[in-house]
């Protein structure tokens, strides 16, 4: 992978829909020569439905907004303390298809968690990252005209109770976990470690 002049933005705590709309606008305006982008964000509580999601998988929303989005995948929850890692990449320039993209993102997360002494794994047929069978990070993407947006939701230090109101990722009895219950790593350190890891593993050549 060769990321072109990776631009990094930290959006802070923002509404999910605002970031989603912004990703769409930025992607639609790309001509092919622009740098790749990495956005960090946290969101106010929201359930999001991917294009494969069924609304029946929302058991009880408890006044949490529900947004049907254009990413792949099923239903999940976003809230404060969960790090959103958005990748706006030129896949045509990278020479990647969807499977390669997911594999690379999973590998990044596995390596990041390994740095903290956490043994994370993939699960065949269920994209994302798991620790002791519990999901700690989800992946949902949209690919359009050779570009991708959306990315990874990484549970760090959050209220996990809203996951009880949904069939997470469309998988019955799927449990979730968070980094806080495994290791005490700050959000800022995680962001910096992830940026360093991307720069270390992927060339920054223009």
Q: Which residues contact 145 (CB under 8 A, 6 or more apart)?
A: none
Token pair of 198 as six digits: 């991307």
In the chain (206 residues long), the average pLDDT of successive 10-residue segments reads: 79 98 95 90 98 89 92 95 97 92 94 97 92 97 95 98 92 93 97 90 53
Token pair of 8 as six digits: 């990094």
What is the pLDDT, as a whole number, of residue 155? Answer: 99
Helix (H, G, I), strand (E, B) or coil at 151: strand
> Which of 87, 35, 45, 37 is CA-nearest to residue 66?
45
What is the pLDDT, as a whole number, of residue 139? Answer: 96
Active-site option among 101, 169, 176, 185: 169
What is the pLDDT, as a whole number, of residue 8? Answer: 94
- Which homologous superfamily is 7-201 in? Bira Bifunctional Protein; Domain 2 (3.30.930.10)
Whether 169 sits among the annotated catalytic residues: the reply is yes
> What CA–CA distance (Å, rounded) separates 106 from 114?
12
CB 197 within 8 A of CB 6: no
> What CA–CA distance (Å, rounded) separates 11 from 84?
10
What is the pLDDT, as a whole number, of residue 97? Answer: 93
Q: Which residues contact 124 (CB under 8 A, 6 or more apart)?
A: none
What is the pLDDT, as a whole number, of residue 3? Answer: 67
Q: Which residues of 53-67 are buried (b: 16+ CB within 10 A; e: fewer)?
A: beeebbeeeeebeee
What is the pLDDT, as a whole number, of residue 4? Answer: 66
């Amino acid at each position: 992978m060769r990321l072109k002049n990776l631009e990094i933005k930290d959006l802070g705590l923002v509404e999910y829909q605002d970031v989603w709309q912004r990703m769409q606008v930025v992607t639609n305006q790309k001509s092919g020569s622009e740098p790749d982008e990495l956005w960090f964000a946290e969101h106010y509580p929201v359930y999001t439905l991917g294009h494969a999601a069924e609304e029946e998988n929302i058991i009880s929303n408890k006044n949490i907004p529900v947004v049907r989005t254009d990413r792949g995948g099923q239903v999940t929850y976003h809230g404060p303390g969960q790090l959103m890692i958005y990748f706006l990449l030129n896949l045509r320039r990278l020479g990647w298809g969807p499977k390669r993209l997911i594999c690379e993102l999973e590998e990044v997360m596995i390596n990041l968690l390994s740095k903290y002494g956490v043994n994370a794994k993939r699960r065949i047929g269920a994209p994302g990252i798991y620790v002791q069978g519990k999901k700690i990070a989800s992946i949902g993407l949209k690919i359009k005209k050779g570009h991708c947006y959306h990315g990874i939701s990484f549970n760090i230090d959050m209220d996990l109770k809203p996951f009880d109101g949904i069939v997470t990722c469309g998988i019955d009895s799927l449990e979730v976990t968070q980094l806080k219950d495994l290791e005490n790593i700050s959000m800022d350190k995680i962001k910096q470690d992830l940026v360093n890891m991307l720069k270390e593993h992927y060339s920054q050549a223009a």
